[in-house]
Amino acid sequence: MRDAATGGVARLTAADIGLRRTRQREAILGTLGDCRDFASARDLHTLLSAAGASIGLTTVYRALHDLERAELVDVVRDESGGRYYRQRSATGHRHYLICRCCGLSRPVDTDVVERWAERLAADSGFAHIEHTLELAGVCADCLPAVTDGASPCRQASHNPGDSPTCRD
């Protein structure tokens, strides 16, 4: 969620999502809110540990699952099925174009997809239709390396031990 006054991400608390307030959940929400791009559970665990938080990886996974069910995070998957999380904006569900190399993510206008899903629900009699749209490519900064025949780079935030792009 974006804070209109600062342009930054508004801080969520466990109470905001109807969960019991715990030190671990608050730390996970704060760290996730600082990440500019998508981050894995391992990325978040590494960041939390580096900040001195005593939290297990299983707790991080559980909290992210709760956040996803509460529709407060957007989730994308990589080629191998790994899940990456980003705090959902105040405007709701978004779709992203993600660089396969560096992990740069940009929200894209997918109003046509949203309208199609709504029409499909109305026409079919189905309710609560969910959909996934994942778009991946190579950003302008990574393109020269890929074009020159270099093997495609990998997202730093998708490698264990590397940290995602987060604000200080």
Burial track 121-131 (b if 16+ CB lie within 10 A, e otherwise): eeeeeeeeeee
Query: Tokens 């969960």 appear where?
Result: 19
Asked if the model's pLDDT at residue 111 lies above 70, the reply is: yes
Q: What is the pLDDT of residue 6?
A: 36
| pTM to 2 decimal places | 0.67
Query: Tokens 């909290």 appear where?
Result: 63
**19 CA to centre of own chain:** 20
Instruction: Please state, in angstroms and rounded to a whole number, the distance separating the CA atoms of residues 136 and 28.
Output: 27
Q: pLDDT digit string (tens) for 50-72?
A: 999 889 999 999 999 988 888 87
Higher-pLDDT residue of 39, 102? 39
Residue 168 — pLDDT band, cuts 50, 70, 90? very low
Q: pLDDT digit string (tens) for 125-150?
A: 998 888 878 888 888 988 888 777 66
* Token duo for residue 6: 């600062």
